[in-house]
Structure formats: C-alpha cells, structure tokens
A and B are shown apart, each in its own frame.
Chain A
Amino acid sequence: MGNPTGGQEQQSVLPAKHLRIYSFYKHGYNDTYFRENIRLINYGTFSHSLYDFAGLQLAYGLTHRLTLEHETGYFLQKQLRYNDPQLDALTRKGYGLSNGVLGLHYALWSHPRSATEFSVAAALKYSYQSSPLEVDGVEMPVELQPSTGALGFVARAAFVTNLSSTGLTVFLQHRFETNRPNYRNYTFGNAHHTSLGLGMPLQTWLYANLQLRNEYRSSDTTPSAARLASEGSNLLIASPALSFQLPAQFQLTLFAELPVYKYYFGEQLSYQYAFGIGFSRQFSFLSRQSL
C-alpha cells in the first residue's frame, strides 16, 4: 500500500529556489478476481473496490542539483463491496490521510543543453496515524485503512533526456518502496515501480505523455506467516496523459491508467482502471538581481 501515483511524477530536479506544487484528484476502480493470470468470472467474496484520492506533491530546489520533495494525500473514500447483499449492506467506507513521503532528490549527472539528467532520490515514508481507522466503533479492514500505519523507505532513480530533433522527451524511472511492521505487526509488501515514458509537444499549449509502468508488489506479511489479503502482484500499466498550459503558468493534466497485463499471486480482486485530473504550478523565488 502506498500513495496512488498522480500521473505527473517529478522526474528531474528543480532549479534552485524554485517551488513546484502539484495537486491532483484520482479515482481508482478494481473488480474481477484473478488467480495468477486467469480471470475468474462470477467468483469471490468481494464484488469491487474503489477509491477517491486527493494528492499533494511539493518540491523545492535547494540547490541546482538538490531538491527537497514531499508527497501526501487524503483518501476521500475507500470502498470494499461484497457480493453477498447481507454483508454489503453492513460495509462502511474508509477515509483519511494517507502516508507522507519526505525526501531529497539529487541530480548525479546532468547535461542542461540536451536536458539530460540522471538523478536519485531517497525518502522517509511516515504515517499520520498511530492506530487503525475505526468507523462507528469498528476497526476497518486493511484494504480500507488510508495509510500503512508504519514507517517506510522510498528510493528512486530516474533518467530523463530530450531528443531535440523530434521534441520527444524520454524518461526511465525506478521507484522502490519498503515498509516496516505497523501497530498491528502487519507489514505491507515491498513495491517496485519501473516506468518508461514518452512525452511529446502536440501544440505550444498541449503536451502528450504516454507512460508504461511495471508495478511489482510482494506479499504482505504477519508474524503468523499466514496467507494474506494482498499476496502480491505483477502489473503492466499504460498511462496516457494530456497536459494543458493555462494562463498564469498553471498547468492542467488529465491522466488515465489502464492495466494491459495482470498477474496476481494467489487470488485477488484485480485493478481495472484509474483516471484523474491534476493542477501544477512552479514558482520562482530568485531575486531579480540573480535573474
């Protein structure tokens, strides 16, 4: 479990004394059980699950090579619905603050003329909650908890380059997340996200982006080593996005996520789609003299 991706991740470091704010809304939907890569129709305890998430990503360029980054968000709702109408009538929605991720992003090598950069980032993942979410006096299940309730660590490496002849931007990024046991001694599995992206200007005010992301998750664990609700998965997700340049240097991004290949360890409800909208703006705090 982690913060949902926002359709516009920061691949390169920011210039010094620049602040970038990106906020987004994302809706995600899961249904249909998978056993490994076999689709199971008319099967399972749950009919579907969904979430609505509002995310906020902040980045500030400390130097021309080093950027301070923070991401967080709030689950407006998390739903887990049952096939059994008797159980479905009793289900409740989860909500609340997700994890915070605070870290540093450093450009190991950059070539400004070709807009090529290789950077690494390391971050601490933390939880705002020290106890599980309860609704009407009842503890919500793991799937409806808004955060991991545990410390974690996030590492990232990104390569981005601009093919000046075509105007194409290409990036390759790997993100690794690991979690510590939480207040229930429940450990969420590790996640490896590998993204390959292509960005292309269609108009001066319109930019298209297609990202192909592999999401590998290992199983959650408990001290009793029992099988768990989330036993891990290996997904290949296509994520197209369109960014519009708005007045006052605002940027609007529309994005979607469609899994093109799904493999689930054990039997799990599978990812169907997600879509969202984001706004971003970059502010400069450079003095006029330094400009």
Chain B
Amino acid sequence: MIKVTPKTIGFFICFAVFGCLKIGIFEKAIHLPVKRILIPLFTLLFLGCYEEIIYDENPFLIKKKELHFQSLATQNPVINMGTSAYIFATATGDSLTFSWSVSEGNLQTYDTLAKFSHQQEGFYTIECTIADAYGNSETRSVVIHVTEQLVFTGFVIQDTIVPVNYSIPVKAIASGEEIAFVWSADGGEVTGEGSEISFAAQAPGMYLLSCTVTDLAGEEQTLHVQIEVVDGFVFKSLVADPARLPAHDNAVITASALGENLSYRWTCDPPANLLGSGKQIIFNICHADIFTVFCEITDDKGNKQVKSVKITVTDL
C-alpha cells in the first residue's frame, strides 16, 4: 500500500489556473464576465483535489479461506479380505495437500480419496492430514474392520423421505465372497439389480424396502430401510457455507430439494446482496449484522415450502 500526498497533478493545474486568473495573466484573453465565473469554478476544482491511498492489490479480491476439515468418511467401515474400502476426505481451504497413512495393508491415495485393502483380519486405522498454504494442518482418522465373514453394513440412500414418483437410488454396502443381492418392497417399484437399485412409489405412504445378501457359503443377512413417500416435493435443507463470515466475504447458500419442476425465490432480511439464481446463490454484504436468508420453493402444482438460514457477518 502506497500513501500519496495530496499534491496531485489536478491540484497543481487548478492552483496554477486559479493563480493566473487572480493575478491577471489572462486579462486580455478572457472577458471579465467569463473570468468572474472561472475564478470561483477553479476555486471549487481546487477544493476537489483529494488525498489518495493506492492499493497494490485490492484487499477485497484477496479471499483467504480458513482450513476447514469437514469430514473423513467411508461407506465401507467393514470389509472382507480381498475387497477394498474407499475413504473420502472433505475439506475447504487454500492450496490443500492431503497426506494419508496406515500402519499396515495396501493403501492407494488420490488426493481426497484413499483405497484400502488387506489380507489379514483386524482393525486398521487410516489417517489423513490436510495442510493449507498458510501452514495450518489438521489430522483425522477412520477405523476399517477387515474380516472373513459376510458383512452387510447397510444402505446408502440420499433421503428416506421422497416425493411421489421420485426415483431414489439405493445402494447396499456389503462385502463377502461372490455375494448376491435380492431386493423386495411392500409396495412401490424396485428397478435394477445387484448392489444398486432405484425405488419409486406412485402413492404417498410408508414403504419397507428389504435387501438380502447371500455369499458363496450360503450365509445370508437381511436389512430393511423404511422410505416415506409424500405428496408434492421435499425441501431437505438450506445451508450457508460459511454461516459466519467477515464483511465483504462471500457465503454460498444451497437449497437441497427433491422434486420436479421446482422454482426458487430468495429474499433476505435485512437486505443484502444475493447473486445468482436457482438452487444455489452467493451472499455478500459490506457491513456487519445478522441476516436471515429465506428460500421459498414452489413446484408446478403450486405446492410451497419455505426455509431460512441465519448468517452472521462480522466487521473486518
């Protein structure tokens, strides 16, 4: 940042013209009525010369993201020997680097993703360390159980409350030797086969979706998941990231909803700058306050739902 004194070029020009007019250098060239107007005008322009601060780099374009290690998760906390567990690291920050480690076993890493397998039964701790450009780091770990038994961990499902006719993908997480999946439901429709299927129902109600997993030895395990099917659409969540930020920074606000032909309406109290449209917008404001951002979702049948999220903006 360079601080400049108020002696700008404009200052000198105005001062010079003002001086020339006063001492009469332009006496012959300028008629008296014109001079009478020019003298006060250049006096005002003289007033209009300002002190300046010149920034080498606009401070509002320097966006420093704090390191935020959001999660270290796996869909396969229990695996069979010979199969793999996938571990995902989720984080935000500037120029992040990911370091993975495990005491034994086979670990392959691809930045935010690690693939682990082992030929010996046991519990294995996999660590992930994330570091940012400013020297900050954070470490988290996850334990993977390796076994010879048939393992049916559970389901991966986006949501258990879904709209009518909405096809929701469901994945069974299981491992074992040559396992087979058999799906059934007490209503609705199951499409697909294997570990991943889709479920949809034409009428509102509670539905029980079951999956039986059988391995080569004939051992079998069955798990159930209850899915609620509702009329209209499902407004799952409204999330601001971050929900607390300094003035002039941006927050990304995301509305998650299940349904077809949805339209989004965004308002804020007190008013702020909301940029973009649709299911994701950017929030920005130049002063501190607590803001409530409202998102109203409407479907083509006129169904409406509103959610709000609070954003705290602090002074720089």
Q: Of B97-105, B106-114, B273-281, which stretch is located at the interface?
A: B273-281
A224 CA to B289 CA, complexed, in Å: 7
What's the minimum C-beta distance from B222 to chain A, rounded to whole angstroms?
Answer: 46
Q: Are A184 and B54 in contact (CB under 8 A)?
A: no
Whether a CB of chain A sits under 8 angstroms from the CB of B135 is no
Q: Are A186 and B267 in contact (CB under 8 A)?
A: no
Contacts of A41 in B (CB 8 A): 52-55
Q: Are A142 and B58 in contact (CB under 8 A)?
A: no
Whether a CB of chain B sits under 8 angstroms from the CB of A250 is no
Q: Of B43-51, B163-171, B194-202, which stretch is located at the interface?
A: B43-51
Contacts of A90 in B (CB 8 A): 275-276, 282
User: Quick one: which of A39, A83, A210, A228 contacts B61, CB cutoff 8 A?
Assistant: A83
User: Quick one: which of B53, B281, B315 contacts A138, CB cutoff 8 A?
Assistant: B281
Q: Given A45-B284, A139-B267, is A83 in contact with B58 using a C-beta cutoff of 8 Å? A: yes
User: Quick one: which of A136, A141, A259 contacts B272, CB cutoff 8 A?
Assistant: A141
Q: In the complex, which residues 211-244 of chain B have their Cβ closer than 8 Å to any Cβ of chain A? A: none
Q: Are B274 and A139 in contact (CB under 8 A)?
A: yes
Contacts of B96 in A (CB 8 A): none
Q: Are A185 and B50 in contact (CB under 8 A)?
A: no
Whether a CB of chain A sits under 8 angstroms from the CB of B117 is no
What's the minimum C-beta distance from A243 to chain B, rounded to whole angstroms?
Answer: 17
Q: Are A260 and B44 in contact (CB under 8 A)?
A: yes
Q: Are A44 and B276 in contact (CB under 8 A)?
A: no
User: Quick one: which of B270, B281, B284, B288 contacts A185, CB cutoff 8 A?
Assistant: B270
Indicate with 1 or 0, residue by residue over A253-291, a CB within 8 angstroms of chain B CB atoms. 000000111100001000000000000000000000000
> Which of A42, A134, A142, A261 gathers most chain B CB within 10 Å?
A42
Contacts of A141 in B (CB 8 A): 271-274
Q: Are A43 and B48 in contact (CB under 8 A)?
A: no
Q: Are A236 and B44 in contact (CB under 8 A)?
A: yes
Whether a CB of chain A sits under 8 angstroms from the CB of B118 is no
What's the minimum C-beta distance from B93 to chain A, rounded to whole angstroms?
Answer: 18
Q: Given A42-B57, A236-B44, is A137 in contact with B287 using a C-beta cutoff of 8 Å? A: no
A186 CA to B287 CA, complexed, in Å: 14
Contacts of B192 in A (CB 8 A): none
Q: What interface size band does chain A fall in?
A: 35 or more
Indicate with 1 or 0, residue by residue over A213-240, a CB within 8 angstroms of chain B CB atoms. 0000000001010111100000010100
A141 CA to B60 CA, complexed, in Å: 19
Whether a CB of chain B sits under 8 angstroms from the CB of A87 is yes
Q: In the complex, which residues 259-297 of chain B have their Cβ closer than 8 Å to any Cβ of chain A? A: 263-278, 281-282, 284-290
Q: In the complex, which residues 302-316 of chain B have their Cβ closer than 8 Å to any Cβ of chain A? A: 315
What's the minimum C-beta distance from A87 to chain B, rounded to whole angstroms?
Answer: 6
Contacts of A212 in B (CB 8 A): 44
Q: Given A87-B282, A224-B289, is A186 in contact with B54 using a C-beta cutoff of 8 Å? A: no
User: Quick one: which of B58, B278, B284, B290 contacts A42, CB cutoff 8 A?
Assistant: B58
Whether a CB of chain B sits under 8 angstroms from the CB of A63 is no
Q: Are A136 and B277 in contact (CB under 8 A)?
A: yes
Indicate with 1 or 0, residue by residue over A168-195, a CB within 8 angstroms of chain B CB atoms. 0000000000000000111000000000
A285 CA to B250 CA, complexed, in Å: 59
> Which of B37, B56, B57 gathers most chain A CB within 10 Å?
B37
Closest to B294 in A: A139
User: Quick one: which of A38, A84, A222, A238 contacts B270, CB cutoff 8 A?
Assistant: A222
State the 4 A-B residue pairs at the shortest beta-carbon distance, nearest first: A226-B289, A90-B275, A260-B44, A136-B277
What are 28 inter-chain pairs, A to B, with CB distance below 8 A? A37-B50, A37-B51, A38-B50, A38-B52, A39-B50, A39-B53, A40-B53, A41-B52, A42-B54, A43-B53, A44-B60, A45-B284, A84-B60, A90-B275, A132-B271, A136-B277, A137-B265, A138-B276, A139-B266, A141-B271, A142-B271, A227-B288, A229-B285, A259-B48, A261-B44, A261-B47, A262-B50, A267-B286
Residues of B within 8 A of A (CB): 37, 41, 44-45, 47-48, 50-61, 248, 250, 263-278, 281-282, 284-290, 315
